[in-house]
Chain A
Amino acid sequence: MSKPHSNQKVDVLIIGAGASGAAVAWSLAETRMHILCIEQGDWVNPANYPSTQRDWEMAGTRDYAISPNIRKLKADYPINDEESPIAIANYNAVGGSTILYSAHFPRFHPSDFRVRSLDGVADDWPISYFDLEPFFALNDTNIGVAGLTGDPALPHHAPPLPPVPLGTMGETMARAFNQLGWHWWPSDTAIITREHEGREPCANIGSCNVGCPKGAKSSADVSYWPVALRAGVQLKTRCRVREITVGSNGMATGAIYYDEDGVEHHQQAEIVIVACNGVGTPRLLLNSASSQFPNGLANRSGLVGKNLMLHPWGNVQGIFDEPVDRFGPEGSCMLSQQFYESDASRGFVRGYNMQITRGRGPVLTARAALWRGELPWGSQHHGVFARLYNHSIYLGICVEDLPEECNQVTLDPNLTDANGIAAPKVNYRLSENSRRMLAHGLEKGVEVMQVAGARRTETVGPIRMAGWHLLGTARMGTNPQTSVVNEWGRSHNVRNLFIVDGSVFVTSGGVNPTTTIQAVALYIADQMKKRLANLFD
């Protein structure tokens, strides 16, 4: 085998340009260190997003599908998720999975960091909500979070931009929640509702989940990256890292990657930061096994890849006699956290978030109804369609997933990506606690839909194609025997190796995790900056 092309050494090598890699790059830029980020995907051209095309609803099911196993783009790697009832979702590009996320941006609660102390399950985090609070606020300001101040389900915080539209849909649900005496609130949303840092506000294009051509959705490519690049961070795209290399002193020396032409490079670095998400990060660490780390890099605890948490997801569709408006941000409008905190009388511990989302466009409405056998052929077709289209509201149930070592990411013995690198294999099952919680959520979702006036409801869960939230596979903690990184993201075993993505989560909370992922990444970057003089001690 020929020797890899050796690149000039950098101070900091960040692997992955998604939500966490972008935030860390931005934060560390002020140190004036030589920072290089390597990303296997490319920049996405917003002019190519499906919503710029007439067939946007179907275009979103192809190159912008949430499963890499469906997209099969050059930037993607396959994932064997056959032994999981939940398929893995991601997007590989500058901006990572934020390209396709709904930008629903609820924070973790203080209780999410004290699960063992409060409920006797899982583990406490080594940091608290209040440690992260300034970084939640910093992130909100950096990317432009819209919302309404005063949510009684969280400690006081003030989103910098006004909330996204509730619409008649939101009003309908708000009245129902009020009638039941349940909590609801306009969602914190990573969508700018007025001009922010030169970006134009949301135009209610309504197809956020297949990319925002307006740039109003704060995916990391349009929020953090332009600023980080202007500050001097370098970003190389279409480069796939095979392994992180270590020297005889047990310190990381850099990474070997393939460029877009398949040429092998060794990028040397003083500090290596991994930001590849809860599946990609353990995959990379396990692929970086060596004589010093035979079970995978930074894996003396044996916990790399274990404790995978995915947020089992359920959906309640309410179908109403009266039309509801469909335009506005697709997946972020309002939430209810009435059942977020533990209540022993419910038969499970921890809780879940209810996320209200808008109905589908005409094509997907028709296809889904036809598939279910609900939309007839012939003279009845138009009447049935008219009663479905613009008459549906969806309520998503995001269930807190507790960590279990049997839920894990390993390396598939046979499957590889286009560069011949071993692909990840996911083994995952729902716990009894998750099943009970999901059943409770679906029941309560039907209840609120009925109070809202739905003439009919449909429930589904757990949904297979919903494995967006990839957490827990390189957890943080103070004990090297029971965690992979310490309380500020540094590997217990490799003193110049940091992990900043959702892998470090100790528990999953019951909400979409991106704001917490970015707050943790900013917190770790801040800790690094404070310790630069003795970072490796």
Chain B
Amino acid sequence: MTHSTLITSDHPLTLIHRQALEAVLEIIVPAEPAMALPSASDVGVPGYLQTHAADYWPHLEKELDRLDESAFRQFAQHFADLSIAERTRVTRLLRNEEPGFLRRLALETVTCYYQDDRVMLALGLEPRAPAPKGHDAYAGDFTLVVPVIARGEIWRRTEP
């Protein structure tokens, strides 16, 4: 997929922010091996954000800071060092306090996630743009109109 090409040295986030972001992405969309679905932390979300949501970076950094602060208050650890259950608890608390917290991140995450090759394949889609190849379509059974015809015309007469 195209979004995993962010060069580490160009990364606009600090190491702590990067780890917190990866940790929260894992709880937004976790991997599901049985369905061959990766975690959102493995589909290049940072690169996607940099390309398509650059306006969101400053706010994201503040949200990641709040995650870490909250993790320290509750567990005396960085957010990224918490267990999945602990991370879930921290984020749930913040989202309950402020319903818009990390909403933009979640929206951008699923936008990136559902364009990933592995995800598209798992959904039964070819990992490509729809055009020019298009898709096969089942025509359907047009004999289903027979009862409609049998009921006769329904348009309203206007001329004498």
Contacts and interface: CB of A to CB of B under 8 A. Distances in A.
A and B physically associate: yes
Interface of A: 49, 51-56, 58, 109-111, 113-114, 117-118, 128-130, 148, 150, 152-155, 163, 165-168, 170-171, 174-175, 177-178, 181, 183-186, 202-207, 213-214, 325, 327-328, 337-338, 341-342, 362-363, 365-367, 370-371, 375, 377-379, 381-382, 389-390
A366 B140 CA distance: 28
A367 B111 contact: yes
A207 B130 CA distance: 8
A205 B137 CA distance: 10
A125 B58 CA distance: 58
Interface string B32-44: 1001010000000
B155 A111 contact: yes
A75 B6 CA distance: 35
A328 B129 contact: no
Interface in B109-159: 110-111, 113-115, 119-120, 123, 125, 128-142, 144-145, 147-149, 151-159
Contact of B148 (A170, A185, A204, A365): A185
A327 B110 contact: no
A171 B144 contact: yes
A128 B158 contact: yes
**What secondary structure prevails in chain A residues at the interface with B?**
loop
A362 B114 contact: yes
B73 interface: no
B52 interface: yes
Contact of A371 (B32, B107, B134): B107
Contacts of A207: 130-131
B27 interface: yes
A166 B140 contact: yes
Given A214-B132, A390-B123, 11 more contacts: A117-B158, A130-B159, A178-B148, A183-B154, A206-B130, A327-B136, A338-B154, A362-B120, A366-B114, A377-B28, A377-B88
A154 B148 CA distance: 13
Contacts of A113: 158
13 contacts: A56-B130, A58-B52, A166-B140, A166-B144, A167-B140, A171-B141, A183-B151, A185-B148, A204-B137, A214-B134, A366-B111, A367-B110, A377-B27
A181 B151 contact: yes
B138 A167 contact: yes
Given A366-B110, A381-B30, A54 B115 contact: yes
B20 to A, nearest CB: 15
Given A56-B129, A203-B132, A325-B137, A109 B114 contact: no
Contacts of A117: 158
A341 B123 contact: no
B159 A110 contact: yes
Contacts of A213: 131-132
B88 A152 contact: no
A58 B111 contact: yes
B106 interface: yes
A186 B130 contact: no
A163 B28 contact: no
A327 B159 CA distance: 41
A166 B141 contact: yes
A200 to B, nearest CB: 10
B142 A206 contact: no
Contact of B131 (A51, A153, A375): A51
A183 B153 CA distance: 10
Contact of B129 (A53, A150, A204): A53
A163 B134 contact: no
Contacts of B49: none
B2 interface: yes
A119 B35 CA distance: 58
A54 B51 CA distance: 14
Contacts of A214: 131-132, 134
Nearest to A129: B158
B35 A382 contact: yes
A146 B134 CA distance: 19
B115 to A, nearest CB: 6
Contacts of B129: 51-54, 56
A325 B149 contact: no
A152 B134 CA distance: 33
B87 to A, nearest CB: 10
B29 interface: yes
A148 B145 contact: yes
B138 A362 contact: no
Contacts of B30: 378-379, 381
B106 A152 contact: no
Contact of B106 (A167, A171, A370, A382): A370
A290 to B, nearest CB: 41
A204 B134 contact: yes
